[in-house]
Amino acid sequence: MSEVDEIPTLEDLEQQLGSLHGKRILVRTDFNVPLEGDPPRITDDFRIRAALPTLQWLQERGAQVVAASHLGRPKGKPDPKYSMDPVRARLAELAPDIELLENLRFEAGEEGNDPASAALLVEGIDGYVNDAFGASHRAHASIVGPPQAVPSAMGRLLQREVEVLLELRGNPRRPFVAVLGGAKVSDKLGVIEALLDIVDALAIGGAMCFTFFASRGLPIGDSLWEPDQVETCRRLLSIAEQRIHLPTDIVGLTAGGEVATFGTRLPDGAKGLDIGPGTAAEFGDIVMDARTVFWNGPMGMFEDERFAAGTRAVAQAVADTKAFTVVGGGDSAAALAEFGLDDDVDHVSTGGGASLELLELGDLPGLVALREGRRA
């Protein structure tokens, strides 16, 4: 299992380099921010702001900071849609005098983890900092390559993310409750199995609950589900029936398109789109009684106000509970921000996939690379 204290910190890097003054430091950030419109506009700069402590710490010590990130999934060649320009403009407002390279994924060697791409990145570079927690589950050139070549460290954001999530995984205050939502069981299977080893209760909302319903033989109407995951859901329920909390009521649309509240049996043609009020209250109580809470994934289609109540209730409970609260994943973080509750959570992770993978496996390719770089 990963030990965060085996990973070099910024202080270790400063010591290794003697001084940071005048040194060129490459910082891998995750500036993969949501964009909207044409020309693209940043709709949420959380990931940029989250990297500022590291960038500023380096600048205060006289380092020349070069930041690099991916943005979107441009498939290995330049695509103006995913240009770093809007990010560069925002970064310049928040922290002047930082050079920001063009989208790393404009080169096929980035995702292909080509050593030549990594070598190019560290040319003229004295040290490397990984602060891209949200991308550290990707064994891509900019994440795993540089630590083999130059003195390297984790940034403040990466460090805090790893400390918080490993504490949850290894030493949570109990009761420890996880609330999972989102559409697909298949995306979350690994983390569900890992969480069942550590949590006292696992509450499941989002469209994912319908595959669990189907595994119990309940009719789900036209709701989203994954037929090939039914067996898996049955097995998960059989090993942890007592600790898995599924919705007891559902809000959705009738076959005629009317909003309605259903029980756990959906009529023909009906579509479940949110947890119901009874379930929202129950999940809220579970969260209020917990001492540690991890929440990932909305409870319903909260972008539509008619189906936002379940996600809002969970977000409110996560904000109100005295428990130590951690929220992971872009959608849940966006929901929190939309409800104005993001300041009331102990830790909002900048990583979706990365936070789930760290909880599941206890380590990430980016962390392994930093640890091994130190030994080299």
CB nearer ligand 3PG, residue 187 or residue 200: 187
135 interacts with ligand 3PG by CB under 6 A: yes
In the stretch 16-55, what mask flags binding to ligand 3PG with x, by CB under 6 A?
A: --------------x-x-----------------------
CB nearer to Mg ion: give 29 or 215: 29
Q: Any catalytic annotation for residue 184?
A: yes
Q: What are phi and psi of 80, to 5 degrees?
A: -55, -25
219: tokens are 């009719």
Q: What CA–CA distances, in Å, run from 66 to 75, 157, 249?
A: 23, 17, 51
Closest separation between CB of residue 280 and ligand 3PG, Å?
27
CB 370 within 8 A of CB 152: yes
CA distance 99 to 94: 13
3-state secondary structure 193-229: HHHHHHCCEEEECCCHHHHHHHHCCCCECCCCCCHHH
Nearer CB in complex with Mg ion: 14/131: 131
Residue 134 interface partner, choices ligand 3PG, Mg ion, none, CB cut-off 5-8 Å depending on type: ligand 3PG
- Residue 25's nearest CA partner among 52, 75, 63 is 63
CB-closest chain residue to ligand 3PG: 32
Among 90, 138, 160, 188, which residue sits at the site for ligand 3PG (rule: CB under 6 A)?
138
Beta-sheet strands, E only, within the chain: 24-28, 35-36, 41-42, 64-68, 99-100, 127-130, 152-154, 176-180, 201-204, 244-245, 250-253, 259-262, 271-275, 292-296, 324-328, 347-348
Residues in the chain, overall count = 376
Q: Give the phi and the psi of residue 133 in degrees, each rounded to 5.
A: -55, -45
188 is catalytic: no
Residue 182 annotated among the catalytic residues of the structure = no
Q: Catalytic residue at 47?
A: yes
Give whichever of 135 and 244 is closer to Mg ion, judged by the CB atom.
135
Closer CB to ligand 3PG, 134 or 206, in the complex: 134
Shortest reach from residue 87's CB to ligand 3PG, in Å: 12
* Residue 73 beta carbon to ligand 3PG: minimum distance, rounded to whole angstroms: 5
With contact defined as beta carbons under 8 Å apart, do 76 and 118 qualify? no
Provide, rounded to whole angstroms, the least separation between the CB of residue 134 and Mg ion: 8
Q: Which does 32 bind (CB under 5 to 8 A by kind): Mg ion, ligand 3PG, none?
A: ligand 3PG
Restricting to residues 331-370, which ones interact with Mg ion according to CB under 5 A?
353
Stretch of residues binding ligand 3PG (CB under 6 A), selected from 17-25, 130-138, 165-173, 194-202: 130-138
Q: Which of 93, 33, 85, 27 minimizes the C-alpha distance to 58?
A: 27
> If binding means CB under 5 A, how many residues of this protein chain bind Mg ion?
1
Annotated catalytic residue, options 24, 49, 61, 184? 184
Active-site annotation, residues:
47, 184, 330, 353
User: Which positions lie near ligand 3PG, rule CB under 6 A?
Assistant: 30, 32, 73, 134-135, 138, 352-353
